[in-house]
Structure 1
């Protein structure tokens, strides 16, 4: 149970980071900072991959 609660908290935190990166990317694009927007986009993509990976590892396995 503890592992699942800890995993769910981690996923929630990572989802928040992913969301914030998306917002930061839009802000950088709006201010015409293409290189900054690019780097934030790379972090956004990586955060999404980590969320998917963590979500898959926390899912209860079916018997």
Structure 2
């Protein structure tokens, strides 16, 4: 039994419907990836499918913004030309 506290989906019913739709589409994509033998792609889609289910069940928040480490806000410059 899962002892994690449930986190209600804070947005309205439309957000719930969208998460349900995303999860349904991920399920279909997972089946396509599986049929094609794309194991890594299937795994990544499966993780997103599980995440969407956790959000629906209230086990995860819709967003993790404001939690954990924050980006430093430093600009990243392109490496430029690579010389061999």
- Structure richer in helix, relative to its length: 1
CA deviation after TM superposition for structure 1 residue 35, in Å: 0.5
Gap runs ≥5 in structure 1: 1-5, 55-63
Q: How does 1:1-63 map to 2 (within 5 A)?
A: 7-53=12-58
Aligned residues between the structures: 49
CA deviation after TM superposition for structure 1 residue 7, in Å: 1.2
Q: TM-score normalized by structure 2?
A: 0.55
Gap runs ≥5 in structure 2: 1-10, 60-84
When Rg is computed on C-alpha atoms for both structures, the one with the higher figure is: 2
Q: Secondary structure at the match of 1:32?
A: coil
